[in-house]
Amino acid sequence: MSEIEQVPVSMTVNGKKVQRFVEPRTLLIHFLREELNLTGPHIGCETSHCGACTVEVDGMSVKSCTLFAVQANGAELTTIEGMANADGTLSALQEGFRQMHGLQCGFCTPGMILRAHTLLKETPNPTEEEIRMGISGNLCRCTGYQNIVKAIQYAAAKLNGTDFQEAAE
């Protein structure tokens, strides 16, 4: 085993500047969870399929299990811990997931909400198909997605100031 020097990384996470020394091979998900104690992003597969580790890096949805922490040097990150409103109340998306029963075990939820957050920034008024395509990098084993779609529609309506019309069953 060679002795590899630790390297400095700094980034802004949920509005707070952080600086650490890490081994270059440290994956961003482990950096967030182990170094910063941000345990909201989860590890579900390690092969960049499940999306439970999704966070926002410089405005992009990224699977943090397939990015080295050093690659995020200097970046702005948002994790689920940074999603609530400033006054501590649930954001539109968080509320939507609760109101529409868009989660069960909760394990995929942080990644799902972060992905939906970026999706709604880019597509404020998505169709059902756009939502389904938009969250297709996030696996959920519990809900069958139908209520996740509704949760995102609920949030979109709330953010757009329109009425949420639940689709007829």
Q: At what angle do helices 146-160 and 92-99 cross, to 10 degrees?
A: 140
Alpha-carbon Rg for the chain in angstroms:
17
DSSP letter (8 states) at residue 73: T
For residue 81, the minimal CB distance to other proteins (Å) is 5
Is residue 169 within the footprint of other proteins (CB under 8 A)? yes
Q: Which of 64, 58, 70 is nearest to 44 (CA)?
A: 64
Choice from 1, 17, 87, 161 touching other proteins (CB under 8 A): 1
How many residues of this chain interact with other proteins, rule: CB under 8 A? 82
Task: Mark 56-95 with x for binding to other proteins (rule: CB under 8 A) and - for no binding.
Answer: ----xxxx--xxx-xx-x-----xxx-xx-----x---xx
Structure tokens at 48: 């960049």
Residues 3-22 that bind other proteins (CB under 8 A): 4, 7
DSSP 5: P
Applying CB under 8 A, among 101, 121, 127, 160 the residue interacting with other proteins is: 101
Identify the residue among 13, 38, 77, 92 touching other proteins (CB under 8 A). 38
Query: In angstroms, what is the minimal distance from the CB of 93 to other proteins?
Result: 8
Give me the residue label for tokens 């949030």: 155
Smallest separation (angstroms) from other proteins to the CB of 160? 20
99 binds other proteins (CB under 8 A): yes
Site residues (CB under 8 A) for other proteins, limited to 110-139 = 110, 113, 115, 119, 131-139
- Give the one residue of 23, 35, 157, 159 binding other proteins; rule: CB under 8 A: 23
Distance of CA 61 to the CA centre of its chain: 7
What size, in residues, is the chain?
169
| Residue 44 in contact with other proteins, rule: CB under 8 A | yes
Strands 7-13 and 76-78: parallel
Nearer to other proteins, 11 or 79 (CB): 79
Q: What is the number of alpha carbons within 13 Å of residue 5 lying toward its C-beta?
A: 3
Side chain identity at residue 67, one-letter code: L
